[in-house]
Structure 1
Amino acid sequence: MRADEGLQAYCGKDVLPMAFNELIKNFDNIRQLMRDFYVFGFKSRADFADKSARSYDNERRRIESWLGEYMYFRQNAGGKNCFISVDSRKIKHNPFYKALKAKSFTANDIMLHFFLLDILQAGVKLSLRELMARLDEDYLYCFAEQMTLDISTLRKKLAEYEQLGLVTTEKCGRELYYQRSSEMVDLAAWQDAVSFFAETNQLGVVGSFIEDKLPAAGEVFSYKHHYLLHALESDVLLDLLAAMEQKQAVRIESCTSKGRSLSLRVLPLKIYVSTQSGRRYVLCWYFKAQRIIFCRLDNLEGVLEAEPAPDYDRLYALAEQLEQKLWGVSLKSKAAQPALEHVELVVRIRAEEPYILQCLEREKRCGRVEKLDAGRYCFTADVHDAGELLPWLRTFIGRIERFSCSNKAVEEKFWQDLAAVCALYGVEKAGEA
């Protein structure tokens, strides 16, 4: 087989046409479809009237090729709903990483990849012009149809490979010489660490790419809480982290629950991860409103137009001051310096229940615990949104002696919920529990 025949077969020109192309150029469209249609599972085909039947079917089959074993269907009055159902305790590898590994490439991309790595054998060091000459003389001449390659294309490809760590450069006089990277890592020795990183780290997709290079091995980890949807936000998170490291302001493209698009100029300051749902947020300074806001990463479509932010240190210090009074990610007030709500909780803890006091101390995110007398403890906190404490406070029901809040709506909500629980169990008054 001639070199050109092999290349054409690899690029799919001499094989039977497929019904759809599994590779993608733009991840944003796939990410939105996977969220709205397959992940949340509440939309039917009729909800995608803005897409042509062909586009819809191609994207659906593309996702099915990655996630087919986890896909299910539910028929209702609105039509057939597709959704993904997984048992996170049984899944050892995040299936959503497959979508991030399906980037399309051109014939020149794949051609240059193999040609360059073939030329740059161990110990070979060549300049840009020498590489160009070798390509022309030893490789491109093999094609039946004359192929031309621009030197600027080769320079860009080498710069990309240098950034990826595939090649290194060395300046000799006025010439820049390229050679294959000689860094060798014993990946097998890191197999368990890479496997754990891939499923637990915020950018675990990096570990998943490395894991693909390792031989199959027995699974040593199982996860009680396995947050799979992180994979769909990996590129957005990486761009936010890069902006934070460089102290840059960015424009974020966000999609609301109603399908509207928002464009906000912000300064990303910190990333927050929920210990309950795994959902991720970015705390940022919103320039237009002149205040701090939280944005959910699963609503972000892109991070664009990064530029230096001279006031970064001052705004970061403001964020650190604000987070001292945060319980979750809710900032009810739209003021630059939001008002605080005061919470007091008195609980009774028997001598044989020291673990209750440990929970009170360990689980509080802010505030303080003080001993009133034998068996009575008081938790107090000043927070931005007292309503966020309610789920945690309810875990102490049965031991609560007194609860008060400066936000009376929150206090009433707490007692109403407690009364509803008592009624459910046939207790007329909370004090009789």
Structure 2
Amino acid sequence: MAYRELIKNFERIRSYMRAFYVYGFQSREEYRIQSARSYDNERRRLESWLGDYMSFRQDASGKNVFLSVDSRRIPQNPLYKAFKAKSFTDKDITLHFYITDLLADGSALTASAIVDGIYREYLSRFSGTLSPDESTVRKKLKEYTSLGLLRAEKRGREVLYQRTDEPSPALDTWADALAFFSEENPLGVVGSFLIDRLERPSDRFRFKHHYILHALDSDILCALTAAIGERRRTELSITGLRSGRNYQRTVCPLKIYISTQTGRQYLLGYHYRSKCIAFFRIDAIRQVKVLEREDHYETYLALQKQLDAHLWGVAAGSGACLEHIEMTVRCDPGEEFIIQRLYREKRHGSVERLDDHTYQFSADVCNASELLPWLRTFIGRIVDLKCSNQAVVQRFYDDLQRMEALYGGESHAVQ
């Protein structure tokens, strides 16, 4: 099979990027989903985009290739390049110029008139050229309408197509804004496409915590946000990140949540089959099919708002039974930054001052175990920890005992 840089199935590219360069660091011999030749072709394709950002190491399992990116040195996410390579056939490129040229004078024509014009104005002047049928032309017109290149207007029983040519905006004045948007916004790939139109892109910004991996999910995120904006149901095709099992879920999408710690993206929606609010990792979603409009959207949105008031992370649970947690900390003089952290990071919780050096954090949450990583950052200053779910408290102190056994020394946390 000949190597081609252009792609037709982006999901395959997404899978290879994750399997080899982000998650698994798998060698050629370890990857069994496709043949060795397919692996080599995909690897060469990715190297044509990401060659400047790739490294490798050799071990007993073979040569492992992975991404190596210093966010201080790159002005733009290199993974955006994957969205700018799309395969097309000779017929695609030929029809593109025929259709756009026929409609260049601003006229509005039916599909039949466009087919007649293609044969009359172009194909009649050549011999042995490809001859597209009306069905193919109609599909191309429908595609261009969905992309915004053409405008479709129904007049009686006929549909007329017209070019949507508009003057290009003065993007040069937006160079800095586009540079920031392309790296900061979850759908920054849109800004990246606009930056490609600039003669002199901005090079002003660098990001210390730059979660570039999630750019691979831009098409999925775009479809979900469109469904949210139009209040439509969706059918999600999901692959379990651990099990590898494929399954479908019919969901009313409500909100997108993005972790400030990892950059990981989640969809929160109403799952019709289980009749409850649920989270879905966006990087596990392989395809989004937008369905009909949801008439009870406000009802489900009210459930989301009620649940959001008690979310700490993305463990929604049933939302019916909340867990109450309290943490009392003591800070010595000069450690006011501890109190500042409590106020800044309390999320939906509250902070109460007990005396000059003692403060109490409390919260009612869906799943108190999600607080454990955060609670551990206060070890050494915690004087009391309580939770309605005693298993959370027990796990906290069990972890302290394991740490003491591992490193030795004495634990100062008080039960």
Distance 2:232 2:212 in 1: 29
CA distance in 2, matches of 1:298, 1:431: 38
Could you tell me which residue of structure 2 aligns to residue 43 of structure 1?
Answer: 26
**For 2:310, which of 321, 325, 338 is the aligned residue?**
325
* Cα deviation 1:141-164 (Å, max 9, x = unaligned): 343314433345444434433443
Question: 218, 234, 237: which one pairs with 2:221?
Answer: 237
Q: What does residue 412 of structure 2 align with?
A: 430
Q: What residue identity is the alignment partner of 2:276?
A: R
- Describe the shift of the 1:382–1:88 C-alpha distance in structure 2 as closer, same or farther (beyond 3 A): same
**Retained in 1: the 8 A contact 2:54–2:67?**
yes
Distance 1:385 1:180 in 2: 51
TM-score by length of structure 1 reads 0.85
Cα distance in 2 for residues equivalent to 1:381 and 1:353: 23
SS in 1 for 2:396: helix
The residue that corresponds to 1:314 in the other structure is 299
Match of 1:166 among 114, 139, 149: 149
Partner of 2:279: 294
Query: Cα 1:305–1:163, aligned 2, differ >3 Å: closer, same or farther?
Result: closer
Q: Can you give the 5+ residue segments of structure 2 that lack an aligned partner in the other structure?
A: none
Residue-by-residue CA offset, 1:179-215 (whole Å, 9 max, x unaligned): 4412331111111111111111111111111111111
Cross-structure match for 1:377: 359
CA drift at 1:263? 1.8
After TM superposition, list the pairs within 5 Å mapping 1:251-262 onto structure 2: 251-256=235-240, 257-262=242-247
Which secondary structure state, in structure 2, belongs to the residue aligned with residue 46 of structure 1? coil
The unaligned stretches of length 5 or more in structure 1 are: 1-17
Equivalent position amino acid for 1:275 in 2 = T
- Per-residue deviation, 1:112: 2.4
1:277 CA displacement: 0.4
Residue by residue, what CA displacement relative to the aligned partner does 1:310-347 show, whole Å, maximum 9, x if unpaired? Answer: 3322222112111211100124x4xx444222211112
Change (3 A) 1:307 1:176: closer
Supply the AA of the counterpart residue of 1:324: A
Partners of 1:356 and 1:368 lie apart in 2 by 15
1:235-293 residue CA offsets vs partner (Å, 9 max, x unmatched): 11112122222222222111122322122222222111000000001112222222222
1:21-420 map, 5 Å: 21-121=4-104, 124-128=106-110, 131-168=114-151, 176=160, 178-256=162-240, 257-304=242-289, 306-331=291-316, 333=317, 336-350=318-332, 352-419=334-401
Rounded to whole Å, the distance in 2 between the matches of 1:20 and 1:156 is 28
Q: 2:383 is paired with a residue of what secondary structure? A: strand
Q: How far apart are 1:132 and its partner, in Å?
A: 4.3
CA distance in 2, matches of 1:391, 1:72: 32
Counterpart-to-counterpart distance in 1, 2:116 and 2:89 = 22
Contact 2:109 2:162 in 1 (8 A): yes
Q: Equivalents in 2 of 1:75, 1:425: separation in Å? A: 33
Aligned counterparts of 2:220 and 2:311: Cα–Cα separation in 1:
24
Q: Using structure 2 for the length normalisation, give the TM-score.
A: 0.89
Displacement of 1:420 in angstroms is 5.6
Q: 1:37 to 1:119 in 2, by over 3 A?
A: same
Q: Describe the shift of the 1:338–1:72 C-alpha distance in structure 2 as closer, same or farther (beyond 3 A).
A: farther
Q: Distance in 1 between matches of 2:91 and 2:80?
A: 26
Q: What do residues 358-407 of structure 1 show as CA deviations (whole Å, max 9, x unaligned)?
A: 32112111121112222221111111221211222222333322222222
What is the identity, as a one-letter code, of the residue corresponding to 2:223? D
Residue 300 of structure 1 aligns with an amino acid whose one-letter code is I
Residue type at the aligned position of 1:150: D
Distance 1:408 1:233, change over 3 A: same
Tell me the SS of whatever aligns to 2:200. coil
Residues of 2 paired with 1:103 and 1:391: CA distance? 43
Given that residues 346 and 378 in structure 1 are in contact (C-alpha distance below 8 angstroms), is that contact kept between their aligned partners in structure 2?
yes
Question: What is the alpha-carbon distance in structure 1 between the residues aligned to residue 204 and residue 23 of structure 2?
Answer: 30
For the Cα contact (< 8 Å) 1:71–1:83, is it kept in 2?
yes
* SS across alignment from 2:347: coil
SS in 2 for 1:194: helix
- The range that moved more, 147-156 or 392-401, is 147-156
Which AA in structure 2 matches 1:399?
Answer: R
State the distance in 1 between where 2:356 and 2:75 align. 48
- Give the aligned length: 411
Quote the Cα distance in structure 1 between the aligned partners of 2:308 and 2:286.
26
1:161–1:219 distance in 2 versus 1, CA, 3 Å: same
The residue type equivalent to 1:204 in the other structure is G
Matched to 2:49, the amino acid is W
CA RMSD of aligned residues (A): 2.7
Matched to 1:388, the amino acid is: E
User: Which stretch of the first structure deviates more once superposed, 28-37 or 399-408?
Assistant: 399-408
Counterparts of 1:366 and 1:51 in 2: how far apart (Å)? 47
SS at match of 2:227: helix
